[in-house]
Amino acid sequence: MKKTVKIILATCAAVVSLCLAAILVVTVVIDPNEYKDEIIQLVRQKTERELTFEGDIGLNFYPYIGFKVGAVALGNAPGFPDLEMARINNAEVSLRLIPLLSGKVSVGKVILDGLSLHLVKNSQGISNWDDLTGVSKEADITSTDLPTAPENGGSVLNFEDISVQGVEITGANLLYTDLQKDSETSIGNLNLRLGAIHGSSSFPFDLGFEFKLDQPNITLQPQITGNIQLNPVAKTVAIENLALSVLDLSLTGQVHAEVQSGAPSFYGTIQLANTSLRELITKFGVNIPDMPDSDALKRFSAEIEFSGTDNSAALKALTIKLDDSTLTANGKIVDFATPQISINALVDAFDADRYLPSQTKPESGNKPEHKTDSAQSAKELNLEALRNLTMDAQLKIDSFKVRNIQATNILINVDAHDGVLSVAPFLNLYDGKFEAHTRLDTNSETPIWSGSGTLQELDTRSLLQDLLGKDVISGTASVEYNLSGSGLTPDEIKKTVSGTAAFAVTEGAVLGVDIAKMIRDSWNKIMGADEEGDETGNFNFSRLEASATLKNGHISNNDLLFDSPLVESIGAGWADLPDNKIDYKAMVTVVGSLDGLEGEILDTVKDIPLPLRVKGKLNDPSIGLDEEAMAQLLVTAGISIGLDTLADSLLGEMDEDKSYVDEAGADDSDDDSDDLFGDLF
């Protein structure tokens, strides 16, 4: 037995010695640099490119089978001006021999230093890598060329038996030039390091590079770290402890992917740490306009949980926090080819006024001009994406404020299918309820739209107080409309809008309007006297209502009704949106009374309609009483008042004269009568 063992050991020693001797001979005798010319010639024949060796090729055989090459450059494709497409400074890979004897593969550290790659697409759309990606007809690969599983009794290399000491790519640079778009994109100073890889064990990685765009001008320097775990048997890959830092953004998370029954799937989570959007936007060269709140955009964070397959994706949970507002959402996309999207989102509270640019009052006399030149008309939106969109979305907002107008309990339903988009909002607005439905059909060349809605029980005083910052009108308002048209530019909407609309305000008041003073000022103007001070008091009314018919931008109304204890009014007229014109007349009739001079004037014109005219440009109309007709009425009232005063005076004088006659006797009455008429005339 001992003799047998000795023979086996001696045989093994002889084999090992023979192998070592063979390795020594090959190492000494074979010089791989002698084959450079053959390699260059082979590359030239296959690719019509020049391969240049600027360094030596080195081989090691023990304890590693090693391959090392110095600087190498690959020429560009024919027709491209640059001499080189790719270059490396140094590359190195090795394989340990001893583990091979036990059926294991142990690769040393893989090193690639100074890789430079310049990809170009010329003005004709031809790329300098097109010739490398094509498969030659002479080298077509068929299914029979693919490796097959070994027969029974064979062996397959186990992934657990493979190890790599690490991968190190340093100083890599990639430049992509698109001459069609006259743009450049580059990835520079790329460094990738992978830790020791052993079967399905987790290994760390570290990736950093500089990313540059020239259109727009952006420079980023992301740094990514984490741990990767591969399991070919279970067909899974996981990235744990993922961390990405770029600019002021810091993201962490994890991603898992697997293939089961031939179908890939993935899931993961990502967290964005709190950051300042204000500083981030500024770093992209964008100037942030002045905002009322200097702390706006300073706090932003997000958390995302997602999953998906090769044909679907799900947003299982999304939380975004911006300053004092929080958005939560979930949704999914099914069938990427013809997407079917569903989204549900909730916002607790959002104050848009914090983010709107501060309003500045225009200088006196500089009113914006109304431009009607068709050359300056907006272009129709490209709605091609809506024609293939299938979406069901719902947005809830607990409270929302914009331009100081506040709404609560907002619910917006959005539905899109077969090229038709429907939006149905509902909200509470100053004790009122607004409900509407809007439909947009994009199947024709010019989109067709329609909309209807109702607003009930609106507190107009609170609304206008928040909007204008002062009391204007009080009362309870209701609005109803049913409109349709085509086109989405302002000009097209004005030209095509048609339908009906109506509104009513009940139990209200025009606040700060003193009717008595307005009448007195009109009288003073006719008489050439100065107007009095500011208006005080309110003008109460019980009802203000009107309806309108619209046809291709022309609005007609003939049923304006205003009812108050002092005056009543009816009105009729028209407005034309395309021509920016209005001509409207309301007839105001006095039905009540006031004290003093204005009361006497009102009594004189009582039950006589007074004309109120609105005329001119829609964006800058002239509004007021028809002064010519008003003057005639007031003059008539003045004459009437003067005659009444004269009559009263005459009657008073006559009463005194009668008393005098009774006392003095009939003989003196003639002379006294002459004196009386002389005084009067």
Summarised one tens digit per residue, pLDDT across range 281-306 is 888 778 888 898 889 999 999 999 99
Phi, psi of 48 (to 5 degrees): 60, 30
Q: Are residues 499 and 594 in the same domain?
A: yes
Residue of higher predicted confidence among 601 and 465: 465
Q: Are residues 660 and 596 in the same domain?
A: no
Supply the angle between the helices 596-605 and 515-527 in degrees, to the nearest 10: 80
pTM of the model: 0.74
Average predicted confidence (pLDDT) for the chain: 81
Assess if residue 577 is contained within a domain: yes
The per-residue pLDDT for 580 is 92
**376 has pLDDT over 60:** no
Give the count of domains, the chain: 3
pLDDT, average across residues 520-537: 63
Q: Is 189 left (phi over 0), alpha (psi -120 to 50) or beta?
A: left
The 8-class DSSP code of residue 528 comes to T
Assess if residue 384 is contained within a domain: no
- Write the pLDDT tens digit of every residue in 592-633: 776 665 566 666 667 777 788 888 998 888 877 666 666 666
State which amino acid sits at residue 265. S
Assess if residue 508 is contained within a domain: yes
Assess if residue 8 is contained within a domain: no
Label residue 671 by pLDDT band (50, 70, 90): very low
Label residue 183 by pLDDT band (50, 70, 90): confident
Of the residues 227, 260, 279, the one at which a domain ends? 227
pLDDT, average across residues 573-590: 90
Which of 454, 447, 303, 478 lies closest to 380 in space, CA to CA?
Answer: 447
Q: Are residues 534 and 667 in the same domain?
A: no
The per-residue pLDDT for 143 is 42
Size (the chain), residues? 681
307-310-312 Cα angle (round to 5)? 55
Assess if residue 330 is contained within a domain: no
CA distance 514 to 532: 12
Question: What is the longest distance spanned by two Cα atoms in the chain?
Answer: 189
- Please, are residues 222 and 246 in contact by the beta-carbon 8 Å criterion? yes
Nearest 10 degrees: Cα torsion 658, 664, 665, 671: -80
The per-residue pLDDT for 532 is 58
- Please, are residues 374 and 491 in contact by the beta-carbon 8 Å criterion? yes
Place of tokens 């439909």: 439
Structure token pair of residue 305: 């949980």
Of the residues 227, 251, 285, the one at which a domain ends? 227
Assess if residue 259 is contained within a domain: no
User: Domain containing 673: what range?
Assistant: 654-680
Q: Are residues 668 and 631 in the same domain?
A: no
Assess if residue 110 is contained within a domain: yes
Residue of higher predicted confidence among 479 and 66: 479
CA distance 322 to 582: 45
Q: Are residues 634 and 665 in the same domain?
A: no
3-state helix, strand, coil in the chain (%, to 5): 25, 50, 30
The per-residue pLDDT for 534 is 57
Instruction: Map residue 204 onto helix, strand or coil.
Output: strand
**482 has pLDDT over 80:** yes
Structure token pair of residue 539: 């003008």
pLDDT, average across residues 354-360: 79
Residue 500 to residues 94, 481, 491, 552, 554: CA-CA distances in angstroms?
82, 6, 20, 12, 11
Assess if residue 96 is contained within a domain: yes
- Write the pLDDT tens digit of every residue in 120-133: 998 888 888 888 87
- Please, are residues 388 and 598 in contact by the beta-carbon 8 Å criterion? no
Strand partners, 229: 238
Q: Are residues 563 and 674 in the same domain?
A: no
The per-residue pLDDT for 81 is 75
CB proximity list for 14: less than 8 A, separation 6 or greater: none
Nearest 10 degrees: Cα torsion 31, 32, 38, 43: -170
Instruction: Map residue 320 onto helix, strand or coil.
Output: strand
CB crowding 520-549: b at 16 or more within 10 Å, else e: bbbbeeeeeeeeeeebeebbbbeebbbbbe
The per-residue pLDDT for 487 is 92
Phi, psi of 43 (to 5 degrees): -65, -40
Structure token pair of residue 23: 């390795």
What are the start-end ranges of the E strands in 443-553?
Answer: 448-459, 473-486, 498-511, 538-551
Place of tokens 């077969």: 418
